[in-house]
A = this chain, B = another copy of it.
Amino acid sequence: MTKAAPLFNRLALIGVGLIGSSIARAARAQGAVREIVATARSAATRRRVAELGLADRVVESNAAAVAGADLVIVCIPVGACGAVAAEIGPHLAPGAIVSDVGSVKAVIVRDMAPHLPKGVHFVPAHPVAGTEHSGPDAGFAELFVGRWCILTPPAWTDPGAVERLAAFWRALGAEVERMPPEHHDLVLAITSHLPHLIAYTIVGTADELAEVTRSEVLKFSAGGFRDFTRIAASDPTMWRDVFLANKDAVLEMLGTFNEDLSKLTRAIRRGDGQALFDHFARTRAIRRGIVDIGQDSPAPDFGRLHADLPVEPLPRPYAVTDDS
């Protein structure tokens, strides 16, 4: 055995989409758990999870999934977590840790905590990682490496349980930070929720213009637009729930954003080049900071691949006089 002893005996995954299936792959690759039991709401997903061999057992109900598990991670849209907590509550093993991966945390505490019995440790979590793809096929074991996982345990949660979950996430390659759920929701409103809302908006705007065709939008998207389309391709159910669950913080950030946009709009309208230049020079430093701490690629264009130059000289209808 070259690996350390597993951190948990049995991990129960409720929901096996991008995040759930990445946890399964990473936990197995790292030997972090002895056994994985998974379930999903749709029969098609359960079948696919079994085909992919992501779990040791795939079961049909949430109650069956959590029986005997010492770690339960609920990996479903935020809006569905309360009902699932109510469903699994009576079936949880004493001493089990119950966690989630939701992008909003105050609502998770509000909706899940009341349904969890005494003796079960509740440690809400949010791995700040993902891609624009969804479903069990989209996951991969490296998704969390170098990314942050935020834990927002309620005050009454046993610190030992919090540390055990932190160790699990570190085994998957993540760095772990703790903060109160309300602060998490404010931080994520600006680093994740507002960017998604803005991206969803502008992509919709581009698609509905009368003066510019969709074909033109697609062809000339390399001018910047395509960067927004990635996150505007994220899972609609997940994101509907995020905005409903983090309404206040999102609306607050949106207010500040609108004020800033008005300022820049005014500078354009008035032809105030200096104000524009000053703003644009400042934002460059933020990118540098993100690259410096390893949260994005230093390669230009996110490291997108560029095709090679044409090997065959292209047809050249106009000859040049050769006077060499």
Contacts and interface: CB of A to CB of B under 8 A. Distances in A.
Contacts of A273: 79, 240-241, 244
A313 B30 contact: yes
24 contacts: A5-B316, A5-B319, A30-B309, A131-B300, A132-B301, A138-B300, A143-B306, A145-B307, A148-B222, A167-B314, A177-B219, A190-B225, A201-B257, A201-B261, A203-B287, A204-B282, A218-B286, A219-B293, A222-B295, A224-B231, A227-B227, A230-B287, A233-B286, A244-B271
A323 interface: yes
A132 B310 contact: no
B296 A271 contact: no
Q: Chain A, interface size: which category?
A: 35 or more
A221 B191 contact: yes
A44 B257 CA distance: 38
Interface stretch (A6-14, A48-56, A106-114, A115-123): A6-14
A141 B254 CA distance: 41
Contacts of A229: 283, 286-287, 290, 296
A114 B133 CA distance: 51
A260 to B, nearest CB: 5
A301 B190 CA distance: 19
A251 interface: yes
A228 B290 CA distance: 11
B190 A209 contact: yes
Contacts of A141: 309
B316 A284 contact: no
